[in-house]
Chain A
Amino acid sequence: MTNEVWHLDGELAGRYADGRVTSVLATSVEQHLLRCETCRRLMQPSVRTDRLDHIWDEIVERVEAPGTSLLERLLHWCGVDEATARLVAVTPSLRGAWLTGTTVVLLLAFLAAQTAPQAMSAFLLLAPVLPAAGVALSFGPASDPAHEIVASTPHSAVHLLAVRTAVVVSSSFVPAALASPFLPGSAWAAMAWLAPALAMTVGTLALSTRLAPHVAASGLTILWASVVVQGFVRHHDPFFAATPSVQLASVAALVVSAAVLLVQRRDLAEVLRRVS
């Protein structure tokens, strides 16, 4: 290409900015703009200053975002890519307050069960509810400060959902599993929370294809609580959740939920995109 022999004048710059030039002429203008700072400056009156200021504010906010957290680095180290690690780390139900709350609640139920076996029903009630609530919370638009990032992530919502769910669920499964060997009752009874917990979590996700995630989780929580309380009140059995009928029902619910989730996963991605 020869030296610049022509430049845009104000009139052509204005017409280009307004989209009032043929696409061939626009192509010329665009190729020229890449190489000519003087003509690039002619575009400045075409974009309002307050619009540019607004965009700049958003850029500053993103550029100055806090550095990587411990969890983020840990996930990255485990082979999760950087963008996903960031999105998991900002999951509301993985922030300190929620994690501490989960652990304390489980610990209290655990201690209570140590002193009085009747309190086992409290432990068996809470252990399945916490992961489901955590999962529902991870996708509530109101509770997620990162919902804009989530909505704009290049990853599919399903992919993000899977990683977030795995981390959230393990954050309450791990303490519950650690506590289980020390609980009263048989080893089988102490692990009775596992099947209902899986069913509640997957069930929350499956229902979220039709309902808001927090509504789905609340509904299942009430259902599970009524099963446990009913067992305790009517049968005076703190281990009612460990009975074969409840366990089988949980496994059945888990299978159905998983099937629904598998079929409806695109719907779920759509729902999540809409709420976030």
Chain B
Amino acid sequence: MLDMDESSTDGELLAAVADGSAVALEVLYRRHASWLVVRLARRCADPAVVDEVIQDTFVSVWKSAGRYTGQGDVAAWVWAIAIHRLVDAFRRRPPAAYPLDEFAPQLTTLESAEDRVLLGIEHGDLAGALGRLSPELRTVVQATVLDGLTTREAARLLGLPAGTVKTRMMRARRALRKELA
């Protein structure tokens, strides 16, 4: 087994994890845990649950590293695991509230010109169109399109009935289509 260290790529680390290298898992953990914690914290207000989800995520990485196909970024692969473990955690303990949009009211004051430039480059018109969606519709789009969850999983994450998620997604799609047409 090759020595795994800070200079190894994520793909190499994951391959080593698949071969049972705990050292590689730790390097991968140290590299990715921080941003995962931050990103999960935007979707779950309880730090204890976030910590638990991070644990579940890396235990899953340990067990299923061999299933990584080499397609796409390792970061995206790990995130997909993490968001599904979060949905699992919410299945066990439904969340009190979904904190994603607590900053929505300050949208206009916070969106500086610089922000808009950044957004324009990242997403073009989509960002603007997303921003003009109502917060309820936007959280649904974020959970389904950007976090890649199914309707049912998004419903669990958002603490909504699946039917509501479906109708909101339909309304959001209609609104976005009109905006981007």
Contact = CB atoms under 8 A, between A and B. Distances in A.
B127 interface: yes
Nearest to A154: B88
Given A21-B103, A22-B106, A51 B51 contact: yes
B62 A22 contact: no
Interface stretch (A41-49, A166-174, A178-186): A41-49
A28 interface: yes
B interface, size bucket: 35 or more
A32 B121 CA distance: 11
B170 interface: no
Interface string A12-33: 1000110111111111101111
Interface residues of A, number: 42
Interface in B26-71: 26, 29-35, 37-39, 41-42, 51-52, 54-56, 58-59, 62
Interface in A41-70: 43-44, 46-47, 51-52, 54-56, 58-60, 62-64
25 contacts: A5-B121, A17-B38, A19-B41, A19-B102, A21-B110, A22-B110, A22-B115, A23-B139, A23-B142, A24-B138, A26-B42, A26-B100, A27-B146, A28-B123, A30-B146, A33-B35, A34-B79, A43-B35, A44-B34, A52-B30, A52-B37, A55-B54, A58-B55, A62-B59, A63-B59
Given A63-B22, A152-B52, 18 more contacts: A19-B42, A20-B110, A22-B110, A22-B111, A24-B107, A24-B111, A24-B119, A30-B39, A33-B35, A40-B32, A43-B37, A47-B38, A52-B30, A52-B37, A54-B51, A55-B51, A55-B54, A56-B26
